[in-house]
């Protein structure tokens, strides 16, 4: 071996020993933290990572959830997800719901937060009243509003109309009205919670900004435009991200309120995945829709965070 080769071999040996030593020092120095995180990481791996990997694998098969024998079908399940009418309708409903609900809640939560941040004597009671719907389970709220809006004679609104000698309304039995009512109930249930996010941000804005604006003769709109809104940009990014992800994953409230009906007018992709995988024993097809749904959530979230992040930088 040449002198150059000997030097290279020695340097590689020293590098390997240094690497092993640094790794050993790292684990020794962070052993407490590793042991602290290990149980949570183990549970997360068992409950999330392993099922996610299995879902991706099953999406390329005809697995029915019962038989251990299944075949590889390639991208057939993915093509079927785009060509099946019910699945396409469910995707469309979820996207519509996820676009309209965040916009309406944001438009209502901002002025509500400004109102609750005022010096009214009843502001604490008002905060509790507006926040209360977000405390109750979405499933329970769905059943309550189903009773109120039911198109049958036993529905609260229709029973009041019939007792007053009026004709009953279709309400949840009308495909167009059902989606509108579902959106309105969702907005009513979540506006207070997101107003609290903005309210928390409002209360940490330095009041000297407003005092300086008053000295300069700024009106209410100018103070909101150039002081309040830029300082609320981080809260808006968080709120809209929660709204988008939560709206795309919505299942309990639509299921309890309309059960996806009438027809498929309010069926969300989450309900379709459960119906296909559990009720119809088409786990492979349901897994493919789950993977597509996961990609959709990832793309929408990244797009939203990117846009609002750039907006946040411009405003601040």
Does position 169 have pLDDT exceeding 90, yes or no?
no
- Let me know whether 233 and 289 are in one domain: yes
- Let me know whether 264 and 126 are in one domain: yes
Number of structural domains in the chain: 2
263 located within any domain: yes
How many CB atoms lie under 10 A from the CB of residue 145? 22
Q: Which among 181, 176, 5, 35 has a CA at the least distance from the CA of 101?
A: 181
- Let me know whether 210 and 115 are in one domain: yes
- Let me know whether 117 and 28 are in one domain: no
199 located within any domain: yes
Instruction: Report phi then psi at 75, rounded to 5.
Output: -95, 15
Q: Are 241 and 305 in contact (CB under 8 A)?
A: yes
Q: What is the mean pLDDT of residues 58-66?
A: 87
Instruction: Provide the β-strand partners of residue 61.
Output: 72
Q: Are 151 and 173 in contact (CB under 8 A)?
A: yes
- Let me know whether 211 and 143 are in one domain: yes
191 located within any domain: yes
Residue 13: pLDDT band with limits 50, 70, 90: low
Residue 6: pLDDT band with limits 50, 70, 90: very low
- Let me know whether 221 and 98 are in one domain: yes
- Let me know whether 124 and 53 are in one domain: no
- Let me know whether 32 and 84 are in one domain: no
72 located within any domain: no
Pick 275 or 29 by higher pLDDT. Answer: 275
- Residues 184 and 187: their CA atoms lie apart, in Å, by 5
261 located within any domain: yes
93 located within any domain: yes
Sign of CA dihedral 234, 239, 242, 247: negative
Does position 50 have pLDDT exceeding 70, yes or no?
yes
Which residue segment(s) compose the domain that 37 sits in?
Answer: 3-58
Instruction: Indicate whether this model's pTM tops 0.85.
Output: no
Pick 9 or 256 by higher pLDDT. Answer: 256
Q: Which pLDDT tens digit goes with each residue over 176-235?
A: 899 999 999 999 999 989 998 898 888 888 888 888 888 888 888 888 888 888 888 888
Q: Are 296 and 309 in contact (CB under 8 A)?
A: no
307 located within any domain: yes
- Let me know whether 140 and 266 are in one domain: yes
User: What CATH number did the domain enclosing 262 receive?
Assistant: 1.10.3720.10
- Residues 189 and 183: their CA atoms lie apart, in Å, by 10
Q: Are 170 and 111 in contact (CB under 8 A)?
A: no
Angle between helices 76-83 and 85-116 (to 10 degrees): 70
Pick 48 or 35 by higher pLDDT. Answer: 48
- Let me know whether 146 and 19 are in one domain: no
Alpha helix (H) residue ranges in the chain: 3-29, 31-44, 50-58, 76-83, 85-116, 123-135, 138-149, 156-163, 175-202, 208-215, 220-223, 229-231, 233-248, 252-257, 269-274, 283-315
- Let me know whether 258 and 121 are in one domain: yes
Angle (CA) 17-23-29 rounded to 5° is: 130
Pick 82 or 101 by higher pLDDT. Answer: 101
147 located within any domain: yes
Q: Are 149 and 178 in contact (CB under 8 A)?
A: no
Does position 316 have pLDDT exceeding 80, yes or no?
no
- Let me know whether 168 and 257 are in one domain: yes
């Amino acid at each position: 071996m040449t002198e150059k080769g000997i030097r290279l071999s020695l340097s590689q040996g020293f590098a390997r020993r240094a690497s092993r030593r640094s790794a050993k020092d790292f684990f020794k120095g962070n052993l407490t933290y590793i042991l602290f995180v290990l149980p949570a990481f183990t549970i997360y791996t068992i409950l999330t990572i392993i099922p996610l990997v299995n879902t991706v694998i099953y999406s390329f098969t005809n697995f029915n959830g019962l038989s251990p024998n299944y075949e590889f079908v390639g991208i057939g399940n993915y093509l079927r997800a785009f060509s099946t009418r019910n699945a396409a309708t469910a995707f469309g409903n979820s996207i519509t719901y996820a676009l309209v609900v965040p916009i309406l809640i944001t438009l209502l939560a901002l002025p509500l937060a400004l109102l609750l941040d005022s010096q009214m004597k009843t502001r604490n009671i008002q905060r509790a009243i507006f926040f209360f719907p977000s405390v109750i389970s979405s499933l329970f709220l769905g059943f309550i509003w189903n009773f109120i809006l039911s198109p049958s004679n036993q529905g609260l609104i229709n029973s009041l109309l019939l007792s007053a000698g009026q004709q009953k309304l279709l309400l949840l039995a009308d495909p167009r009205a059902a989606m509108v009512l579902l959106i309105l109930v969702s907005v009513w249930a979540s506006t207070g919670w997101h107003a609290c996010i903005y309210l928390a941000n409002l209360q940490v804005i330095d009041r000297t900004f407003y005092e300086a604006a008053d000295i300069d003769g700024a009106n209410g709109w100018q103070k909101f435009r150039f002081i309040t809104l830029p300082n609320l940009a981080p809260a808006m990014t968080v709120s809209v991200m929660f709204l988008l992800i939560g709206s795309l994953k919505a299942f309990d409230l639509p299921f309890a309120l309309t059960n996806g009906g009438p027809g498929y007018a309010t069926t969300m992709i989450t309900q379709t995945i459960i119906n296909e995988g559990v009720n119809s024993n088409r786990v492979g097809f349901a897994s493919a829709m789950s993977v597509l749904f996961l990609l959709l959530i990832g793309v929408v979230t990244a797009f939203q965070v990117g846009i609002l992040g750039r907006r946040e930088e411009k405003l601040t």
